[in-house]
Amino acid sequence: MSEHPSTPTLMFIAHRDVESRVMDALADAGVTDITQAQSRLLQRLDPAGMRLTDLAEQARVTKQTAGALVDQLERAGYVTRRPDPSDARARLVTLSDKGAHACRTAAAAVGRVEEQWRKHLGDNAFGDLRAALITLREITDPYW
């Protein structure tokens, strides 16, 4: 048995650390009513808006779960639903101004984490890590 966890576990540990830091940054900015589950849904939301079924599929949750999370986010003022111009029967979930502000706050926190990683690893190793993960996306992200 290896001294270190598997590569996917190491990636998960790093990801969970970033999630915690993002949630802390949101709380520091006064955004205290977004849950971890809601934040994971917001991560996948296309800024142009998307249908609930597509959002559920990309977030890898059931349509019912995504619907409940979107309902909560809509009541809290982070997202809105508007008619889909390509299908009058469908609705698009889009960020509100409040939701866009929360996403900018989260993105700034992620940027700070990446800068810390770059300093810790060095420019070359960080660049190699990022390039490798981008290449892995070709076989791991069906929505890319």
pTM for the whole thing?
0.88
Name which of 47, 101, 33, 37 is nearest 69 in CA terms: 37
Residue 115 lies in a domain: yes
Question: Which residue matches tokens 């940027």?
Answer: 111
User: In 1-144, at which residue ranges do the beta strands (DSSP E only) sit?
Assistant: 50-51, 79-84, 87-95
43-95, pLDDT tens digit by residue?
Answer: 999 988 999 999 999 989 999 999 999 999 999 999 999 999 988 888 999 99
Residue 101 lies in a domain: yes
Q: Is residue 133 pLDDT above 90, yes or no?
A: yes
Domain count, the chain: 1
Q: Is residue 28 pLDDT above 70, yes or no?
A: yes
Q: What is the pLDDT of residue 1?
A: 63
Q: What is the mean pLDDT of the chain?
A: 94
Residue 34 lies in a domain: yes
Residue 61 lies in a domain: yes
Residue 123 lies in a domain: yes
Residue 23 lies in a domain: yes
- Enclosing domain of residue 100: 7-140
Q: Is residue 9 pLDDT above 70, yes or no?
A: yes
Residue 1 lies in a domain: no
CATH number of the domain bearing residue 67: 1.10.10.10
Cα–chain center distance at 75: 20
Q: What is the pLDDT of residue 130?
A: 97
